[in-house]
Chains A and B, each alone.
Chain A
């Protein structure tokens, strides 16, 4: 067990003994990433609830084992459980027609961000992420936005590291495809020209 894991285990021990300050420290360290994960996965209306359920799960008998992974990974795992319940996605691996869309993507087209300001680019990416199937939205959120490494992400989504890598590759291609198709729409192209 490394020092961070040992410290996490000690923190949880203190919380279980009713140490409010220890809980406040743990909450401050992890609530925002969990909130953003829930926000991207099931929207603003449910993100607060997912955070609450995640930390309640930890308080009410969660069995964190520092030898089996990080506390962050453990909390993301609890959050994922609640997110899946909310999404009512029994098998997240069913990506629908995503593969077909990925194949249709043309990676050598001009960048979809060429004409956009930073704010517009961020808004466009946010919308494109929201339109991804959950399985890809999740991996983009964990690996690209929350910057979990492949091993940590694999622990959260309970799949091999190789699957995370290939899923992320497909997710990025799909994202690019969606952004390109949106940018080619006349209305958006017009906005790009005006704001340039």
Chain B
């Protein structure tokens, strides 16, 4: 059972977080709020989203799992006005969720939970380096790299005290560095890993709205991006597996 109301901007942001990676997910609903974890079809990227009950203007729920068609949600979200209220209503054991906003009353069929991929187990990885930068700086550097290549390296040079991003195309090269004084936070450790810009462009667009994004990196390891949404009442983590650096 779920009976809740939420600001349309927060709901839209949450859907965007998921839509950057997957087209469907299993959403766990509990009295504490919403949570979900999902992996993209190639098992290369993972997302986890937690939206606490506090992110809603009203929230009453019992434990249940629902299958959400993210594509469909994205289309519906596009119909919503800014800073409006969305009411969600799902009866116990129901197969359709009622979504009401600005006079519209959608009744949306849920996916059979069993047809949606199970939550992936998050891998245990140790990422020693950490920087905190603004989402817009991160997204701009991703866009800049995409002009010359389809992959980007993130790295930390602890001696120089810098965080850098670097991309090599067939002919062209781009390098961008941030000294530690320009960073919100800096935990130095030798780190460099290469990632696909295909994925990062989609994730970057979502992260660009966040003031602070934590980037955790290591040597030829996945990268973890952590940031909050809904005024800190929601938390997101993206994990992206690295590419193999060709010699």
Whether A associates with B in a native complex is no
Residues of B bordering A, CB below 8 Å:
none
